[in-house]
Amino acid sequence: MPEQWTDGLNPPHGGQLVNRMAPASEQAALQREAATLPGWSLNHRQLCDLELLLNGGFSPLQGFLTQTDYESVLSDMRLANGLLWPMPITLDVSEDFARGLNVGDRIALRDPQGLNLAILTLSDLWRPDRLLEARQVFDSEDPTHPGVAYLLEDSGPVYLGGTLTGIQAPVHHDFQALRQGPAELRRLLAEQGWQKVVAFQTRNPMHRAHQELTRQAARQTGAAILIHPVVGQTRPGDIDHYTRVRCYQHLLQRYQGESVRLSLLPLAMRMGGPAEALWHAIIRKNFGASHFIVGRDHAGPGKNALGEDFYGPYEAQELVKAHADELGIEMVPFRKMVYVAQRGRYLPAEAARSDETVLSLSGTELRQRLKQGEEIPDWFTWPEVAAELRHRHPPRHRQGITLFFTGLSGSGKSTIAEALNARLLEQGQRRTTLLDGDVVRRNLSEGLGFSREDRDRNILRIAWVASQISRHGGIAICAQIAPYADTRQRARAMVEAEGGFVEIHVSTPLATCEQRDRKGLYALARAGKIKGFTGISDPYEPPKDPELTIDTRDVSPDAAVDQIIHYLEQAGYLRPRHLPRDAANEEAETRVPLLDRQLTVR
């Protein structure tokens, strides 16, 4: 390993910073070649991996792991040459794509828009035991672990190994001035004359506690601070990186004359806890850091299926410590930081005396406060950061929401949906879009029939449109049979990524719907003239846990609308009617208690 690294910063892992980008003079020819090759369209995680393989963030890797390296990483956390490397970086593809490929083939790796980014020269092709990989890397087979879930549910069954030739780096249009590869970041750090740099990894917004922690780390080590947040793939449900980066930019202004730099890392995290902490340290070493902060539950995946933590809170620190000598980057371990009210400052939890008032706010509590429009205390974060978070998580009465009616044909869905739409428009608080089953089938889903496949397509199209409406703060009112439970579940998941979802089961029984037979369809279905009719010759799977249930035998459309509006007010999605509509009252009005999820209207 070379002793000298000329920029004066910590040398990269393995002594050399990899650069797999082809010289500019060769790129046009490679583009022409790539257009003729079999092409693999990279998913988000693979795209992130490719970027760090090409620019040296994953030095000493020269490409996706070969089978020998892969097996060695799994069994020993080392490459076959003995160098520490705890995370398998593999290219998983489908059987279809792998069919017909041979060692030595060249494969074009493309971004989702079809742009050729790199050529992989295939050296290995194998079918891994993904369950074994889950056990060895994550110490778990539980798919509530995002790293395990990717392996067992999303990844392709064939791995391709080989070296890379980069044609063009993945394109980013956001925060370009904050995106540096390892070579460029090293140049900037060296230009500032910093030789010791302590890196801070995060996938969350940063608040006062985090600033204090970085300050203390800098004081302890005499190093400059590198805030190096992950902006690739993080844990599902995390705050989007656009919001986070704006928060980090505010935070930067709150340092006072300290040496600090912000740079974004396009890493796809695996939430692998201890092994991931080791990997993060190696990556930061490649970016020039001499020290790396490892806190409580570093890269933790949340709770397992039994509600327990996957890893001990300080297991990551222990593993990094155990490899301290060969890592070549020094860990700065931190315990949980708390605000000590009497002293008006943050301290490690164990430094507070038992008679002192200790304050902290968990991520869950913060999200809850944002959701309810409650105060974010000053001791916790700065007003400008709180404002960014509020903007991203508006109180419920400004959040988008989808009201998803489901029930048999003739159950009364459309009537109630229409009445609800009219009443909401009359109130004038919110913008609504009515997506009625029949209307959707004439427009969005024209040409689809009533096979299981076509019904699913229909519902998922509606869900996609509803998710977009919700994303922009509107109310989508959808009224369709939606007979299959798992499709409704998929619709819910699509919408909940963007806003609220309220499932309203119009539970009027089949006998009543058939007796009413408003469109004469039940008679036709009974006579066998309509095939696969819901309730007669095709199943309707009633929702098990809808937010609301309405049986139109017992309740008029107007009374049903009253009940739905009452629910929406109680849940905070609508402001109570007696309050004025002006914005000045918004903050006070959002503090409505949460209602139990279920309500049955009869």
Alpha-carbon span 298 to 270, nearest angstrom: 12
Which of 137, 482, 495, 561 lies at the binding interface for ligand PPS (CB under 6 A)? 482
> Of the ranges 44-52, 98-106, 167-175, 434-442, which one interacts with ligand PPS (CB under 6 A)?
434-442
The answer to whether 410 is annotated as binding is yes
Which of 409, 549, 563, 590 lies at the binding interface for ligand PPS (CB under 6 A)? 409
**Residue 530 lies near ligand PPS (rule: CB under 6 A):** yes
The answer to whether 407 is annotated as binding is yes
8 Å CB contact between 582 and 387:
no
Q: Between residues 58 and 540, which has the closer beta carbon with respect to ligand PPS?
A: 540
What secondary structure, in 3-state letters, does 290-323 show? CEEEECCCCCCCCECCCCCECCCCCHHHHHHHHC
Backbone angles phi and psi of 261, in degrees to 5: -135, 145
- DSSP sequence for 122-141: EEEEE---HHHHIIIIIS--
The answer to whether 414 is annotated as binding is yes
> Of the ranges 184-192, 358-366, 390-398, 406-414, which one interacts with ligand PPS (CB under 6 A)?
406-414
**Residue 437 lies near ligand PPS (rule: CB under 6 A):** yes
Alpha-carbon span 569 to 467, nearest angstrom: 21
Q: How far is the CB of 418 from ligand PPS (least distance, A)?
A: 11
**Residue 410 lies near ligand PPS (rule: CB under 6 A):** yes
**Residue 326 lies near ligand PPS (rule: CB under 6 A):** no
Query: Peptide bond before 60: cis, by omega within 30 degrees of 0?
Result: yes
**Residue 460 lies near ligand PPS (rule: CB under 6 A):** no
- Run of H or E residues at 121: strand 116-126
Tell me how many residues contact ligand PPS (CB under 6 A): 21
| DSSP-based helix, strand, coil % in the chain, nearest 5 | 40, 15, 40
Q: For residue 62, which of 52, 70, 71, 53 has the smallest C-alpha distance?
A: 53
> Of the ranges 2-10, 41-49, 365-373, 454-462, which one interacts with ligand PPS (CB under 6 A)?
454-462
- DSSP sequence for 553-587: TT--HHHHHHHHHHHHHHTTSS--TTS--SGGGHH
Q: How far is the CB of 421 from ligand PPS (least distance, A)?
A: 15
Alpha-carbon span 431 to 424, nearest angstrom: 8
Decide: residue 528, CB within 10 A, 0-12 exposed, 13-18 middle, 19+ buried: exposed
CA 440 to chain centre: 30
Q: How far is the CB of 414 from ligand PPS (least distance, A)?
A: 5
Q: Between residues 233 and 414, which has the closer beta carbon with respect to ligand PPS?
A: 414
Q: Between residues 278 and 481, which has the closer beta carbon with respect to ligand PPS?
A: 481
8 Å CB contact between 601 and 552:
no
Q: How far is the CB of 496 from ligand PPS (least distance, A)?
A: 20
Q: How far is the CB of 494 from ligand PPS (least distance, A)?
A: 15
**Would strands 106-110 and 116-126 be described as parallel, antiparallel, or unpaired?**
antiparallel
**Residue 464 lies near ligand PPS (rule: CB under 6 A):** no
What secondary structure, in 3-state letters, does 157-184 show? CEEEEEEEEECCCCCCCCCHHHECCHHH
Q: Between residues 194 and 533, which has the closer beta carbon with respect to ligand PPS?
A: 533
8 Å CB contact between 12 and 5:
yes
Catalytic residue ranges: 202-204
The answer to whether 520 is annotated as binding is no
List residues bridging with 262 in a β-sheet. 227
**Residue 414 lies near ligand PPS (rule: CB under 6 A):** yes
**Which amino acid appears at position 425 of this protein?**
L
8 Å CB contact between 339 and 210:
no
**Residue 455 lies near ligand PPS (rule: CB under 6 A):** yes
Which of 303, 345, 353, 519 lies at the binding interface for ligand PPS (CB under 6 A)? 519
Q: How far is the CB of 488 from ligand PPS (least distance, A)?
A: 10
List residues bridging with 294 in a β-sheet. 333
CA 576 to chain centre: 33
The answer to whether 408 is annotated as binding is yes
Q: State the virtual CA torsion across 112, 168, 290, 338 in degrees, nearest 10.
A: -30
List residues bridging with 199 in a β-sheet. 226, 292
Q: How far is the CB of 440 from ligand PPS (least distance, A)?
A: 6
> Of the ranges 251-259, 358-366, 492-500, 527-535, which one interacts with ligand PPS (CB under 6 A)?
527-535
**Cβ-Cβ contacts under 8 Å for 560 (sequence gap 6 or more):** 412, 416, 419, 420, 550, 552, 601
> Of the ranges 83-91, 259-267, 474-482, 591-599, which one interacts with ligand PPS (CB under 6 A)?
474-482
Q: How far is the CB of 448 from ligand PPS (least distance, A)?
A: 8
**Residue 438 lies near ligand PPS (rule: CB under 6 A):** yes
The answer to whether 272 is annotated as binding is no
Which of 483, 500, 546, 572 lies at the binding interface for ligand PPS (CB under 6 A)? 483
Which of 264, 476, 481, 491 lies at the binding interface for ligand PPS (CB under 6 A)? 481
> Of the ranges 244-252, 346-354, 408-416, 593-601, which one interacts with ligand PPS (CB under 6 A)?
408-416
**Residue 543 lies near ligand PPS (rule: CB under 6 A):** no
> Of the ranges 66-74, 225-233, 422-430, 481-489, which one interacts with ligand PPS (CB under 6 A)?
481-489
**Residue 532 lies near ligand PPS (rule: CB under 6 A):** yes
8 Å CB contact between 198 and 225:
yes
Q: How far is the CB of 447 from ligand PPS (least distance, A)?
A: 13
**Would strands 345-348 and 337-340 be described as parallel, antiparallel, or unpaired?**
antiparallel
Q: Between residues 228 and 455, which has the closer beta carbon with respect to ligand PPS?
A: 455
Which of 381, 480, 507, 552 lies at the binding interface for ligand PPS (CB under 6 A)? 480
Q: Between residues 233 and 487, which has the closer beta carbon with respect to ligand PPS?
A: 487
Decide: residue 68, CB within 10 A, 0-12 exposed, 13-18 middle, 19+ buried: middle
Q: How far is the CB of 441 from ligand PPS (least distance, A)?
A: 5
What residue numbers does the annotated binding site for ATP cover?
A: 407-414
Sites of contact with ligand PPS (CB under 6 A): 409-410, 414, 437-438, 441, 450, 455, 458-459, 480-483, 519, 521, 530, 532-534, 538
